[in-house]
A and B are shown apart, each in its own frame.
Chain A
Amino acid sequence: MKVKNTDVLFRTLIISLTLLVLLFSVLPYLALIVGSLLPNSMTDRGIGVDTFIAHRWTLNNYHELYDPAYRVFFQQLLNTVAVSSVTSLMVVLLAVPGAYSLTRYRFRGRTLIRQSAIWGYLFPPIILVFPYARLLYLVGLNNTRVGLVLANVAFCFPFGLWLMVQYLHAVPRDVDKAAAADGANWAQALWHVIIPRAMPGIAAVAVFCIILSWNDVALSLVLVQDKNARTIAAGVQESILRTEQTSYGTFAAASLGIAAVAVIVFGVIQFRIDRRLREEAEQA
């Protein structure tokens, strides 16, 4: 086939734009890795060309994390793991039966609830967090991880439910009918027949909730004053970013640990979902 001149030009343009986008995407976290391996004194005003030339690589920033001063961060990391996994579990437990009813039954207000993603986005944390703080105070849950979990559930739930509805909707109705014909009641059908088929969806909802509550700053900052009960995103920003004295290198070392788990786990899940979508399209 004859290749036209304009095609070559178009390709070159696309390839260079792609490289630019990739560079834009990759540079900041590369900087984080490089910064964690350089002495604080060299990076507290940014990573310059001369920083590279001098290259006094060190693992000091990582050693420093063992310092007792950082012990509170480990507590906060544990809090974050606990809060985000409990949040995620609760949202899944609530969203699965909810989505099941929403896709299998007709009733008044169904459409309204189904569009929960949009309604949820209309009540962002920053608007509700202070009223929340007062309500939690009334029931004696202020300053606790339980209160924080409740708040996180509230803000993860609408989008989680919406996702779950999309997935359960894709499970064919014939499956339900077959289960009913075999004498299963709705709960048995849900547990034995529908949930196994909706596993990727459940994983997606769980991951979404973990990302959101893991990365949350606003809720933890306002609802929890006790340093030992805070999550790490809020804790870290308070102790490092808000003080005038900077030690970005140590911070970068700590944050790489925080981010690594998320990046790897989500990467794998993303990869698998993408592959499945492609296979399905190929069959279609």
Chain B
Amino acid sequence: MSAPHDTLCSQCLLPVGRRSMQRRLDGETHEFCCYGCCIAFQVKHGRGEESEAAWLLIRLGVGAFLAMNIMLISIVVYTGTFDGEDAGLLPWVHLLMWALATPAMIILGGPFLRDSWQDAARGQLSPSALIVIGAGAAYAYSVVSMFAGETRVYFDTASMVLLLFTVGRYLEAAGRARAARDLEPLLAAESEIATVLEDGLERPRPVREVTAGALVRVRPGERIPVDGMVIEGASLADEAVITGESRHVAKRVGSEVIAGSINIDGALLIRSSVEGTGTRWARICRSVRAALSHRGPTQRLADRIVALAIPFVLAASGLTVAYWARTLPFDEALLAGLAVLVVACPCAVGLAAPLATSLGIGRLARSGCLVRDPGVLETLASLRAIAFDKTGTLTSHAPQLASIDCNGVAQEQVLMRVAGLERYSPHPLARAVVAAAEAQGLQASLVDNVRARPGRGILGAAVDDLVAAGNASLMSEFGWPLPPALESRASALEESGHTILYAGWKGRVRALLVFDAPPLTEAAAALQALRDRNLLVTLLTGDLEGPARRLASVVGVEELRSGLMPEDKARAIADLRQQHGLVAMVGDGLNDGPVLAAADVGIAVGTATDLARETAALVLPVGGLWVLPWVIDVSRAVRRTIVTNLVWAFGYNLLALSAAALGLLQPIFAAAVMAGSSILVVANSLRLERLADPVPPPVARAAKRDPGTRRHVPIPTAAACRSVERV
């Protein structure tokens, strides 16, 4: 019965929609969104002498042979060769044309008939039905008039309409397949075959069956199918699809490799670290698939229009025939009606949005930007304001522990306890604490029953007592007093714009952990680029006003709201929406989840935690803040393309429809015009492929070239514990 709506066409990777076609080819079941894709897929993938593809090409060829011969004979007839004394031959010529046209109708019309029959069984009228009715009527009229001894037959119209639509659909599908090229690597995770080494033998296995710990052989030029570690060989890898990194990354024994990246030039043996379905690549694949099978708002509207248009076209065609039949001979009236039927086929309207959208998604994917809902592109294009979270988004992803102020305890002790607590948290500050403890060779204390308090901090049970690390409000929630020495330090540090983590246990605040998080080098340029695109740039942060203002002046933010709790941020987003229009929220980290969901578009940058990713509709690659202006450009280009496609398709349809209804358009010409309209929509959409690549700002490039610099800054030692002036 009807195919599930979320499957994608094997040829062009667009959702198959309600009018899917199923074919078994070479032992596999394929779904196609249309007849054109069905042809194009078989032509491209057909192998072997008696493949279905060869058979299909034969049918096309023979059908074209018959249709063209009918056309040629008709031209000879129209030029008046049989007008004079040879008129007696005309019935025989008609008979010959009938003999050629009958197999042509069966060969070329069969697929269209099957298509419309399937839809009719589901109680729907498809565009194919219009073609079948048009060609069928021309054929039936010709047969009747031939046996009645009339002089006019229209076998040429009947067969050429079918031929032109077949060729048009093929060309359209071939163009659409180019849209799939960018998306293919992202969708391959489910179908790719990995070469698994088992008992010394190489066996092909689907990626989803690869288990953690399996040995996988990857030849040069192949896609690395699993996350893992290289245990033999050396090569370069292209990780652009996953990380957005455009340079090739060197891999040798011991290097980590990422599923989905391409192994460029050396054979590798890899030990997989997770199972095939658990890689980031596989997750991306699932979410891209889901995104493609959603329909954007424009597309839903277009679909509704197409569905409404078909009965309207049928009625218009009937009216045309009835109107002209009063003044003209019936065959001319019929031709005008057929032209209406053929030219009004709303194929191009149905194609306008999904093609442009999936090209846009593919184009973004090639640079590591993941779109999880096609509607996002349309929303982004009409965005008015964009709000940023501070930590890890505008500031460095890896804040470092600059110093620790202690009160009556050893700094090692502080570090061990807090590290024991924070190793359960994905927050950037938490990672900095854990890293600092590891660098000093300290063993993190055992802490269990760990709970996060979003926007406040984290707490857990150590051996002797409750341990907590977080901001001042978490401490006051417990009623833990702040020793005066620490209090004065804290206010001084906050004024100078540093981030502080309070740590306490046994009923007191014991230490201040001071973090240093410089603004990202590319942040100022990226925000400037966003302002150049007429977007209001705002900063929403849970930090105090001092540090927030300092950052705002460095990176250039127009509006600033600091000291916000997660709930306040959602309210701030609502405010922005009311004042300006559509709002996007760019965030990273545990606090952002609900805020990202509250915005019209939630954008997560790179190292976002999984929770943030679940609610973000757009995920940028690691360190990908600088790509954001380009993403806005792409989304605007996509919207522009959709609009021009729709204007073109509707305008063209209306013009051609009027011409046909006035009897100015021959049906054959109408069919050519209609096939041309779809091809123009495809060509217009394919211009999106030529969009420029994002250009990393020079500073971002410099930072990328040396990603380790920040991580190797000296770790606070006992000596630094008191000399906090260093920062």
Asked whether A and B interact, the reply is no
Using a CB–CB cutoff of 8 Å, the interface residues on chain B facing chain A are none
